[in-house]
Structure 1
Amino acid sequence: MTDAQPPNQPPPLAAAAQTIITECDAKLERYRAALDAGADPAVVTEWISQTQAERARAEADLHTHSSNRPRRMSRTEIKDLVQALGDIATVRRDADPTDKAEVYQRLGLRLTYQPETQTVRAAVNLSAHRGVMVRVRGGT
């Protein structure tokens, strides 16, 4: 399962933002060198302000695109998840049939036994999950 996950590569927009940041850093170094060499401070200050604004936008883009991407799960995280799901399967298996029926109903799951083939056909009504689900009990 670990190998089946996509690699930890930054999304294209995050990579583009990182490239802009690197380019801005190089420009700022050149502007510092220009100031040291005697360039007009007013002109260089304007360049620096523009470059710093461009860098800030790229940093914001990088943060936005980096924080929204899924990360790879470690082998330990996958093992823990599979063990937890196994525990859920045990709980479901041992659960009261009435409780199981209620859970299946809330999930929109319908099981139909086929006696001629001794199989069970499972169907899920996905539209049952739209909007707010209301639970009514008793004589109402």
Structure 2
Amino acid sequence: MELLDAGADPAVVTQWINEAQRDKDAAHKKLDALPAVNQKKESPLTADQIKAITERLGNIAQRIQAADADKKGPLYEALGITIA
């Protein structure tokens, strides 16, 4: 919601969410196709672990919004984000 509150175009945000969901679904299909032997069994993250990770990352949306425009292109490309 912070992106929308900051004035991001809802259509673009919706597109990002849809693309992320398609990527997630494709990744799940690839993982499901792997033999069980290759799938690493890890315990889920605890609430404290997730909180620590998000605190270390800070507010990414604000950091991206504040970045120079010429630096956003490579960042978006590395993240697989396309803007229509």
User: Which category describes the TM-score, using the shorter chain as reference length?
Assistant: 0.3 to 0.5
Taking CA–CA contacts closer than 8 Å with sequence separation of 6 or more, which of the two structures ends up with the larger relative contact order?
2
User: Which structure's CA Rg is the greater one?
Assistant: 1
Q: TM-score, normalised by structure 1?
A: 0.27
> Comparing both structures, which one devotes a greater share of its residues to helix?
2
Q: Please identify which structure carries the higher strand content.
A: 1
